[in-house]
Amino acid sequence: MYNLSQSVTWKKLEQLALTSKNERIADAFAADANRFDDMSLRLGGLFLDYSKNLVSSQTLELLFQLVEHSPLRQRRAQMFSGDIVNVTEMRPVLHTALRNRGEEPVIVNGEDVMPEIRASLEKLKGFSEQVRQGKWLGYTGKPIRDIVNIGIGGSDLGPNMVCRALLQQRHEKLRIHFVSNVDGLHISKVLNSLNPETTLFIVSTKTFSTQETLLNAKSAKNWFLESAAEQDVAKHFVAVSTNQAAAVEFGIAAENIFEFWAWVGGRYSLWSSIGLPIALSIGYQGFIELLEGAYEMDQHFLNAPLEQNMPVIMALIGIWYINFHGAETQAIIPYDQALHQLPAFLQQLDMESNGKSVNVEGEPIDYATGPIVWGQTGSNGQHAFFQLLHQGTRFVPIDFIASLKTQEKTDEHHFALLTNMLAQANAFMNGDQSEGEQNHASCPGNRPSNVLLLDELNPRNLGALIALYEHKVFVQGAIWNINSFDQWGVQLGKKLATEISGEINKKSTNYDASTQGLMKLVREHVKAS
């Protein structure tokens, strides 16, 4: 039986963490002139420097042993081959198949799913090119100029982040909007700036039953029908869903429903038809380049030795900090304004995947799992929360992310951006004790970080970056022996929201006094439909 915290390697890592607790990263550089070269990796247009971490060759050797004793190799093979790895929902997990650019089949229940995937891509291509070329006309014969994606969670965060990151490559005549919050102010603000004659809505919901998405879609449809007729809905609303019947009932033409499959998890779905806004914004070829970058990282993850495997190394360093140094959070700091929504995207990816307290057998575990992921752009962070990171009592590992080349003609700005990032990474490592160790100005340093550099922020490199983090999360989940692909905590919230919505006018006594009291206030002050 796999018992992680009782393994010999785990015990050795616990001991090593105790004996090395006073070691300093700066001293490791002084002792080894090759540390940067030995602790950096390149894959295509992505470069990782992990030398500013509290790890030695001994640490890494033990962490690699942890991998060898874990189910990682088996689960990695199962995931890529279409076997069931989401054991609580009895599903395969095949976001990797969505970006499979090779010829190899992927078999699920005895059938190759690749022909279906390629067909869905062709449909995506045909539709996106029609819209981008001005050939998809609205009910008054005008081409589409605004596209509103209505979704939440994985149906919003991934496409939203990618479209914002690649904003410089967007179609010059198309504006892409994203509506996710059920707060009516969100959709009202977007709709107020639009013309119904030239607006296309994408309703993105896996089951076509997500409460927030359907309410926003209904509001969008009502707004549209103030100017148009019911038969015009088909020209202005499309859906991305597994539930064709419900989408058709809403008024969406069957031929305008883009499918994906139950084996596509929401937080991994941007590679599927959920990525329709991406294809509309940057073009189908750009979307394919995004898939190709992810596929390159997939192949690296599958085939590179552990010691040269970028996702494995990042995952193990994270485990070292979470399980042996007590780190509770992970900061994501992009020094690139275009990546300002990356922390929110990675927050869902990591916390929804590895926020678990039982193993795959349903048994409680006695070690920490997924960290709290947070962050924002570096320039702003420097003048906000970096103070705590430099001098506070919290231990927070940091991932710095930047692109070397900018698409803007602002070399002076970009140079300042990158030098600020390098300065911060250096300051976190070295600190400043020139005024004395107890002085209020003293910064102790020895704060670890990774630095991830993209040659430039383009679809291929962004695809590789996203896949890198996906696989990092998967590796950690496999070592912790948890299921990274279900989200029962999310389902509980959805279930209770539906129940309370249905019972709020009944003065139900099925809830605690606090919930009943709050329901009463809602009844009195908000008209419940």
Domain ranges of the chain: 13-93+292-480, 114-260, 488-525
- Residue 435 pLDDT > 70: no
pLDDT band at 409 (very low <50, low <70, confident <90, very high): low
Tell me the range of 202-216, 339-353, 398-412, 511-525 where mean pLDDT is highest. Answer: 339-353
- Residue 527 pLDDT > 70: no
Phi, psi of 425 (to 5 degrees): -60, -40
- Residue 528 pLDDT > 70: no
CA distance 275 to 162: 9
Q: What's the average model confidence in pLDDT over 270-278?
A: 98
Instruction: Provide the percentage of residues in the chain whose pLDDT is more than 90.
Output: 85
Q: Is the pLDDT higher at 504 or at 108? A: 108
Q: Are 390 and 396 within 8 A, CB to CB?
A: no
The least confident of 312-316, 395-399, 419-423, 511-515 is 511-515
> What number does CATH give the domain 13-93+292-480?
3.40.50.10490
**C-alpha distances in angstroms, 264 versus 124, 259, 267, 360, 402?**
17, 11, 8, 19, 29
Architecture of domain 114-260: 3-Layer(aba) Sandwich (3.40)
pLDDT tens-digit map of 144-153: 999 999 999 9
What's residue 439's pLDDT? 78
Residues 6+ apart with CB under 8 A from 464: 43, 44, 45, 46, 293, 294, 296, 297
**C-alpha distances in angstroms, 443 versus 264, 394, 429, 436?**
45, 13, 10, 10
Q: What's the average model confidence in pLDDT over 399-415?
A: 86
DSSP H helical ranges for 371-430: 378-382, 386-391, 411-430
pLDDT tens-digit map of 466-517: 999 999 999 999 999 999 999 888 888 878 888 888 787 777 778 898 988 8
- Residue 323 pLDDT > 50: yes
Helices 310-324 and 57-68: crossing angle in degrees, nearest 10, is 100
- Residue 341 pLDDT > 80: yes
CA distance 299 to 164: 27
pLDDT band at 248 (very low <50, low <70, confident <90, very high): very high
pLDDT tens-digit map of 32-81: 999 999 999 999 999 999 999 999 999 999 999 999 999 999 999 999 99
What's residue 522's pLDDT? 86
What's residue 521's pLDDT? 87
- Residue 436 pLDDT > 60: no
User: Fold for domain 488-525?
Assistant: Phosphoglucose isomerase, C-terminal domain (1.10.1390)
CA distance 384 to 424: 13
pLDDT tens-digit map of 441-453: 889 999 999 999 9
Give the number of C-alpha atoms closer than 13 A to the C-alpha of residue 380, restricted to the C-beta side. 10
- Residue 354 pLDDT > 60: yes
pLDDT band at 523 (very low <50, low <70, confident <90, very high): confident
CA distance 373 to 469: 12
Active-site residues: which are they? 352, 383, 494
CA distance 136 to 144: 7
CA distance 475 to 285: 30
Q: What's the average model confidence in pLDDT over 239-249?
A: 94
CA distance 357 to 367: 9
- pTM of the entire structure? 0.95
Topology match between the domains 13-93+292-480 and 114-260: yes
What's residue 529's pLDDT? 47
